[in-house]
Every structure is written in structure tokens, then in C-alpha cells.
Structure 1
Amino acid sequence: MGRRAVDLSQADPKGLVRESYNIEGISYGECGQIFIDWVLSLPAVVDTPDYIRALIVHYALPNPNHPMSRVLTEALTAPTEPKRRGGRAARFADRP
């Protein structure tokens, strides 16, 4: 799916992200939890990055120091390498 303009009412239909910007003193961790709730509430067929971009334009750009702005921006950044190794490789990776 390519980039497309997304209406804010589609991007945040329950107002979860909007409300996070209205909560005074909200923490980064709390914003992360709200973001997870928001993602889980989206239909499976949407292009989530397009929705995140719409939220960034509407909320994050005017509020760059808000913790939700950081969460939204980080959500668009793909991890470069896996951070965790599972199974046998993880148990023996750091042994001398």
C-alpha cells in the first residue's frame, strides 16, 4: 500500500491519541500503552503508517515535546536489527 491522505476521524475514531495530548503530565510509558490500544482498535486492512502520519501532522508537529509525539515518530522508524535473540542462541551468546 502506498502513502495516502487519511482523514483524522478515520485515523483516531475513538479519540485515544487526541485525549493523550490533553492529559497533563502523561508519561512516555502511558503514551506507549495508549498507542498499543489505538493500534489494536484499527481495522486489520488499513495502512497503519498512513494513519500514524496523519496523527503526526495533526498532533505531533504542533506539540513536538509531548511524549506521544515521540511514540508516534518512533512507530514510523523500522528497527535496524533485532534486539532480542530467543531460544538456544540467546542462552549461549554471552558465555565466555
Structure 2
Amino acid sequence: MTLTQADPKNLIRESFRIEGIGAPECRSIFVDWALSLPDHVAPVSAIRLLLDHYAPQAAPGAQAHPMVAVLVEGAQSGASVARRRGGRAARLAR
């Protein structure tokens, strides 16, 4: 997978170029990015590629870019398997 495939609209790339961007704006950009991914692109693989590319460049100082934290969170939550949490139907099925 290439960066162009992982970020087809360059939303993540542009977020790293915005000075003073905060976590809420990064989350909004992340949602737009996720919705723009083609069906054949695995989101977790794309996130890991983007992190490998942008994270080392993003933290020259002591404070990391907020998009790095959003991408890390997205990779962690995307890697977990969705499970049914229960509810009335689960209790009655026994």
C-alpha cells in the first residue's frame, strides 16, 4: 500500500501542516478520512502506514502532534474485534 492509497484526499497530510490544530479538529479530519477510504483499503493497515510516515516527522519538539494521538487511538480501536455486549436478546437466548 502506498501513501496515496492510504490517504487518497491528503486529509491526514494536510492536518500535519496546520499550525495550532487541536485534538477535536484532528478527530473530525480523521472521521472524514475514514469515510473517504476506498472499500479495498484496510483502515488499520492504512493508519499504521500513515503513522510510520508522519509520526517521526511530527514531534521535533517535546509535544507530539495531536493527529498522532488520534491515529494511534484509531489503530487500537480498529484492531479490536466488535463483540455483542449483551442485552435482552442475549439473556433470552439461553
The bucket for the TM-score relative to the shorter chain is: 0.7 to 0.9
Q: CA deviation at 1:62?
A: 2.1
The corresponding residue for 2:58 is 63
The corresponding residue for 1:94 is none
* TM-score in terms of structure 1 length: 0.72
Letter of the 1:17 partner, please give it: I
Q: CA deviation at 1:47?
A: 1.0
Q: CA deviation at 1:29?
A: 0.5
Name stretches of at least 5 consecutive residues in structure 2 with no aligned partner. Answer: 89-94
Letter of the 1:58 partner, please give it: H
* TM-score in terms of structure 2 length: 0.73
Q: 3-state SS of the aligned residue for 2:21?
A: coil
Task: Confirm whether residue 51 of structure 1 aligns to residue 46 of structure 2.
Answer: yes
Structure 1 ranges of 4+ moved more than 4 A: none
Choose the corresponding residue for 1:18, options 13, 22, 30.
13
Q: Contact 2:6/2:46 (CA < 8 Å) preserved in 1? A: yes
Q: Percent identity?
A: 51
Q: CA deviation at 1:23?
A: 0.4
**What is the count of residue pairs matched by the alignment?**
78
Name stretches of at least 5 consecutive residues in structure 1 with no aligned partner. Answer: 1-5, 89-96
Distance 1:11 1:41 in 2: 10
Tell me whether 61-70 or 31-40 shows the greater mean CA deviation: 61-70
Instruction: Please provide the CA RMSD for this pair.
Output: 2.0
Distance 1:52 1:36 in 2: 12
> Structure 1, residues 28-59: CA drift from partner, whole Å, max 9, x if none?
01000000000000112321111001100111
